[in-house]
Amino acid sequence: MNINRLKIWLKATRAPFLTGSIIPVSLGTAVAWSETGHFHLVYFLLALAGVSFLHLGTNLTNDYFDHKSGNDRLNKNFSQFNGGSRVIQDNQISAKGILIFALACFTVGSLIGLWINHQFQTNVVLCLGLIGVFCGFFYTATPLKIGYSGWGEAIVGLCFGPLVVLGSHYAQTQSFSWTTFWASIPIGIMIGLILYINEFPDYQADKAVAKNTLVVRLGKKKAVKVYNFLLAMTYVIIIFGVLIKLMPLYTLIALLTLPLALKTMKVASSNYDKICELLPANASTIGLHSLIGILLCAGFMLDKIL
C-alpha cells in the first residue's frame, strides 16, 4: 500500500476525533491512580487501543450507513468537522470496503476487550464492551438507527463519558466509584456537544433524509440555546462535584477553560445559521473537550501528589 492510499484510509477513519476515546480512558485511569496509587500500564494501553478501535469502527459504520441513506450525498455543507469523511462520495474507497474495514475495527476492539475481561473474575468489561459495540454499530445501522431518532447525542455522551471512564477505572482497580462517575459527566456532556454543534451545518441534509437529530427536532435557534446551557452545565457539575467532595479541589483548574467556553458560546449564538462563521465554534468545542479532560486528569493527579 503506497503512502497516498494509506492517507485515504486514515482519512476514512477520521482519526483526529480519537481524542474522544483518549480523554475518557485517561481520565478513568487518572481517577483510579488518585484513589489507589496503582497504575497498570498494560491495561491502560489495552483499554486505550480497544476503545479506539471501537471508535474507529463507529466512524466507519457511520460513513457507510449515512451513504446508504443518501445523507452524506445530499450534504453540501460538509467540512473537516461534519458530513463524514467523504471517501465514498469522492470514489476513493467503495462503500463495501468501508463496511469491511468497520467490521474489522469492531472485531479487533472486541478481541482486546475479551482479553482484558478474561484477566478478571467478572464479566464487567464484557458487559460494558457489548454496550459500546451495540451502540456504536446501531448508531446509524438499520433497524435501530439511533442517531436518526433524536437519541444519538445522549447515547454518544453516555458511551464516551460514563461508559468509557468507568470501564477504564475498572480495568485498573476492578471496582467502581461515585467519584469516577461524577468526573465522567462533564466529559460525556462535552463529547455530546461535539456531535451536537457539528449537526448545525448538517441540518438541511439531515432533515431531507429524516435524520431527526436534536438540531433538526428543535430547529437551530432553540438548539443553540440548549448548546449554551449544556456547556455551562459542564462547569456547574465540576464546581458542584468539588463542593460535595466527590472531586478534589485541584480539579477546579478545569475552570481555566471558561473564557474559551464563553467565547465559543458567543460565536455559536451569533452564527448558528451561518456555515463558515460557525466553524470556530466547532473547533473550539473539540478543544474544550480535550482541555477540560486534560485538566481534570491533572487535578486528580495533583491531589494524589500533593
Confidence of residue 121 (pLDDT cuts 50, 70, 90): confident
Whether the predicted pLDDT of 146 surpasses 90: yes
Give the 3-state DSSP-derived string for 46-114, with helices as H, strands as E and coil as C. Answer: HHHHHHHHHHHHHHHHHHHHHHHCCHHHHCCCCCCCCCCCCCCCCCCCCHHHHHHHHHHHHHHHHHHHH
pLDDT of residue 125: 96
pLDDT of residue 2: 76
* Neighbour tally for 71: CB within 10 Å: 23
| Domains assigned to the chain | 18-305 (1.10.600)
Distance between CA atoms of residues 31 and 10, nearest Å: 32
Three-class SS of residue 24?
Answer: helix
Q: Are 267 and 278 in contact (CB under 8 A)?
A: yes
Distance between CA atoms of residues 9 and 254, nearest Å: 35
Three-class SS of residue 164?
Answer: helix
Report the pLDDT averaged over residues 63-91: 93
The mean pLDDT of the chain is 96
The proportion of the chain whose per-residue pLDDT surpasses 70, expressed as a percent, equals 100
Residue 260: exposure state from Cβ atoms within 10 A (0-12, 13-18, ≥19): middle
pLDDT of residue 3: 83
List pLDDT tens digits, range 39-72.
999 999 999 999 999 999 999 999 999 999 999 9
Distance between CA atoms of residues 83 and 57, nearest Å: 17
Helix axes 178-198, 275-305, angle to 10 degrees: 170
Q: pTM (2 decimals)?
A: 0.96
pLDDT of residue 1: 57
List pLDDT tens digits, range 150-203.
999 999 999 999 999 999 999 999 999 999 999 999 999 999 999 999 999 999
Pick 4 or 268 by higher pLDDT: 268
Whether the predicted pLDDT of 108 surpasses 70: yes
Report the pLDDT averaged over residues 103-122: 96
